[in-house]
Every structure is written in C-alpha cells, then in structure tokens.
Structure 1
Amino acid sequence: MTGSCDNLFPEIKNIPKCKKCGYRTDFRFNNEEFKLKRKTMDYSSTYDGITIVSLKFKEFCNQKKYNNLEFIELKKAPNFFQVYVKGNVIEYNARMKENLCLECNQFESIIGPTINYDKISKPLDKGFYQSDLWFASGNEKSPKIIISPKTKMELEKEGFKNLCLNKIEKSL
C-alpha cells in the first residue's frame, strides 16, 4: 500500500511520516493509487499491514451490525476496501520493544504479541476487537484483529475466501 518495512514509495508524496525516524505516523493512510493484484479473496493484507476486504465481506458486516468497523473504498479496486476496527481495544503484552523515537513516540519494532488475559474477565461480546499495541517493524506495524466466538461462527458459516480464524485460549 505504501512501501516496505524500511522504505516508503517515493512517488507517494503525502504519506504522514516522522521527520526524525522516517517511519509512517498514520498506519491507516489510504493510497488512492494502490492497485490490488489478487481480486479473488474476501480478506487479505498488504505487506505493510493494511487489511483489505471484499464488498461481500463489507455487506456481511453491515448486515450483522458490526458498527465499529470503518471501510475505506479502494479507488483503483472497485468492490474492495481497507478496513479498520474502531474502539474495542484489548490490552496486549510485547516480548520486546525496540528503538523508541522521541519525536513521534513510536518504537521501531514491537515483537511477540500476547493477550493480557488478566484484563479479560468475561467472554467477548459479539464483534471485532483490536490489540492496543501495533506489532511488527518499521512501516509494517498493524494491530492484531480479534473476533468474538459468536462472530467467528458467523464468519465460518459464510465461507469467505482466505479468512484464517485461529482460536485464542487462555493457557492454565
């Protein structure tokens, strides 16, 4: 969407980035010139952590009233959208945080995501959630997307292409 871990595409002039470290400061930036290569999947991600969904996925979420999702149309890929979770934040721990930039207050890398189970006291309500930390390195950081057990069942019934759902369980 915007480049690689270390380098942003030079032809995209308006990507918000830190003057000191050079990394993106808006990880939800929409590149209006982005061209989607594979248009057969209902759910996918770019190398720099942007989640892309099909119109079928968007319509399903609207019908099920998942109101905390934001869909941004991809201008060069009709019927496909960037999608983000608004709110519904779950606290995560990181095994390691490296190289804090004092200008933009971002770490270069956040590694080893694990849910802070001590902060979850009951099963998740229906819907989509996101981690409070954005994991990976450089320009590739993105939140972990989590769904409730009920939402998982609804999505599995629909048969979306390329949707990989893993069960997260608290280890005893």
Structure 2
Amino acid sequence: MDEIINKVAQSSLEVFDLEDYFPDEHVVQLDISQWLFEGFLLKEKDFREQLKNFDWTIYKDKYVGIYCSTEAVLPAWAFSLVAVYLNPVALKVINGNLEAITIVWYEDILSKVDYSTYKDKPVILKGCSKKQVPQEVYTLAIQKLMPHAKSIMFGEACSAVPLYKRK
C-alpha cells in the first residue's frame, strides 16, 4: 500500500482562525429594559435611582453593548446615562447588541495581532466556525491579512475559495 501523505501539513499554508480570538466572557450585552417600568416606560427619577444602586462591578474589564430588548421609545440620554455608570469599570462601552460589541472586540484584537507569520505565505481564512463569529469580522480580517499574505483563501484546506492573490 502507498503511504498517505498529508500535503496540506507539508505546505507553507497558514490558517488564520478567527475563533482563536473569540471573546467568550469578555463581551456582554446589557439590556436597559430591566430599569424601565414594565419594561417599556422610562420614569426618570426611578431610572436614575436604579442605576445609582446597581452593582456595576459585574462589568469590570468587559466590553459592554447597551441595548433595549423591548420596543420602548427612549430618550437619547438614557443610553448615555447608563454609559456614565459603566465607563469607570468596563473596558469599552457602545450602544449596541452582543453582535455589535463583538465586532468592536474583534476590531481591537485584530489591530494588535502580529501578522508577520503570514508574510509572503498562502493563507486560509478559516470559515467553518463552531462559534458565532460575525460576518463583518471576516471582512476586517481579510483587510488585515492582505498587506502580508501572498494569497488568501476562505474555508478549509480541502475546499478553499480563492479570495486574493498578490500581483
């Protein structure tokens, strides 16, 4: 019998896997409807009092997306007031849901990655994720990889789709 040779393992192909940077517990969302009367009505005095008495330390060193899960019509300042309380403890605060704050997390993380490993090499931007990596993050990643990689494919080594090849 002929020996089976793993040509992918022997190639200079590098895999860039966004799951390696997945935030896990570092990224959370905060639903402000918990401080609204019946989840819909903002009573300013009660809202301010609840914010004042809330334990904000649970958001220490986290990326927090502030959103409202109900269809409440809120004044613009409501989200800003929540941010005032979060700012001293959280790493980053935005007005948005979990997906939006996850994208912000990836923007920050991908800006700190050392891409020299991918210099002049063919790269596969791994596309089959077990975790919910937002689609926008793939667009961010390819922009970070292009100045370094010789070529970029999307997917898995066995079925990669070519995206970019340096001329």
TM-score after normalising by structure 2: 0.21
TM-score after normalising by structure 1: 0.21
RCO higher in structure (CA 8 A, sep ≥6):
2
